[in-house]
Amino acid sequence: MRNFKAAIENRRTYYNLSSKSLISDNEIKEILDFAILHVPSAFNSQSTRVILLLGKQHKLLWEIVKNTLKKIVSPEAFANTEAKIDTAFASGYGTVLFYEDMSVVEGLQNAFPSYKDNFPVWSQHTSAMHQFSIWTMLEDAGFGASLQHYNPIIDEEVAKAFAIEPKWKLIAQMPFGVPTGETGPKEYQPLENRVIVKQ
């Protein structure tokens, strides 16, 4: 395994995925388990929920996405959309769905009314840390992945298909699989405009 800095540096967005896996399904679940146990959350809320879709369930998700988009995208534009979904997302080995349990967030809002408006924002921060951690660990295991946001337009159908708890809010979708191509060079903005040190 890479060291922590190397793992972060090598995490990239992959849009060409195969349906292969270099590790067992149980080892994939162990990655999710580790993140859910050890990634921090605001007020130790532990509000993040993840669902691992494999095999037919993974394929079903992306059929839902395509069927949803087909209703709202022009036929000309949908052809390109469908091709991207088929080769970059549905073609992968699985998908991780990221949810936030809003019953936990609402409980904190009631318990700490002075911070009421902040808890939904902090919930997003919590989810983001889980997304990044899982993405990095999947990459370290040999997968490529990307982060997608077809919510909220797919939320209702996804909730029906996978029996999602009513209070769970869909935040993001992470398709993953063994990459079939390389990523392009990454451009970096100057650090002097992004990191400020005051002494």
Asked if residue 43 belongs to a domain, the reply is: yes
Question: Per residue in 134-175, pLDDT tens?
Answer: 999 999 999 999 999 999 999 999 999 999 999 999 999 999
Asked if residue 199 belongs to a domain, the reply is: no
Beta-bridge mates of residue 94: 54, 176
How far apart are the C-alpha atoms of 23 and 62, rounded to whole Å? Answer: 23
Asked if residue 198 belongs to a domain, the reply is: no
Asked if residue 134 belongs to a domain, the reply is: yes
Asked if residue 106 belongs to a domain, the reply is: yes
Q: Which domain holds residue 162?
A: 4-193
Asked if residue 144 belongs to a domain, the reply is: yes
Asked if residue 27 belongs to a domain, the reply is: yes
Do residues 17 and 93 lie in contact, with contact meaning Cβ atoms separated by under 8 Å? yes
Q: What is the CATH number of the domain that holds 117?
A: 3.40.109.10
pTM over 0.85: yes
For range 171-196, the mean pLDDT: 94
Asked if residue 44 belongs to a domain, the reply is: yes
How far apart are the C-alpha atoms of 197 and 199, rounded to whole Å? Answer: 7
For range 71-86, the mean pLDDT: 94
Do residues 178 and 17 lie in contact, with contact meaning Cβ atoms separated by under 8 Å? yes
What is the total count of domains within the chain?
1
